[in-house]
Amino acid sequence: MHFVDQIAESNPKNYQVWHHKRWLAEKIGPDAANSEHDFTRKILAMDAKNYHAWSHRQWVLQALGGWESELQYCNQLLEEDVFNNSAWNQRYLVVTRSPILGGLAAMRDSEVDYTVEAIMVNPQNESPWRYLRGLYKDDNNLLVADNRISDACLKVLNKDWTCVFALSFLLDLLRMGLQPSDELKGTIEAMENSDPETGHADIAVAVCSILQKCDPLRINYWSWYQTTLSS
């Protein structure tokens, strides 16, 4: 293993080396967990997006263990770079699969608070928006019922009406059945800056109209989406 580590450190994107490391780790067993985690930390410190290192680390966690400090490791990586999508992905793995954290249902509340805080600091960072959606996987009713989510969208849009991630998330919430507050309605109406001839009574249609203005690369998609709302 020491020999292979030297090769892997010099050739961190050689998949054959990583496959051989996995084979060796299987032979050694749980005693290899700590050293393998230390090694992937070293590789990820050089390249935070090394797919092979992340894949190996996830395999080690699930096959050999070492979950105890993994959430803290994710915290560290996100403190260093909140735009590290790989760290967000790893965090989701830990929250949903760690045998010591109790699963997504047990972690959801604190994770929503953590994620909303990250969003408020960097609203244009797509990763926490996607992570937030994943925290409510297969439970749209719970997502819609959690006022923290719509409140986060509202706070972001009050500061930056062009935030596509907040607008598209809000649109999904409305499509799922969110009943918008008067404050939210007022904010969208002000953002649309509509007159009696061009304004939209339906708030979801209004959000689509705004998205067509601030997300021109996908204007055709938002135009089509708007037709699905009025059909």
User: Which are the catalytic amino acids?
Assistant: 13
Extract the tokens encoding 1: 């293993």
The Cα–Cα gap between 132 and 129 comes to 5
Q: What angle do CA 99, 102, 104 make, to 5 degrees?
A: 110
Extract the tokens encoding 168: 């598209």
Could you tell me which residues come within 8 angstroms of residue 115 by beta carbon, excluding any fewer than 6 positions away? 128, 131, 132, 135
The Cα–Cα gap between 87 and 136 comes to 19
The Cα–Cα gap between 39 and 26 comes to 16
Angular region, 40: left φ>0, alpha ψ -120 to 50, beta rest: alpha
Extract the tokens encoding 66: 């070492």
Report the Cα–Cα distance between both ends of the chain, in Å, rounded: 62
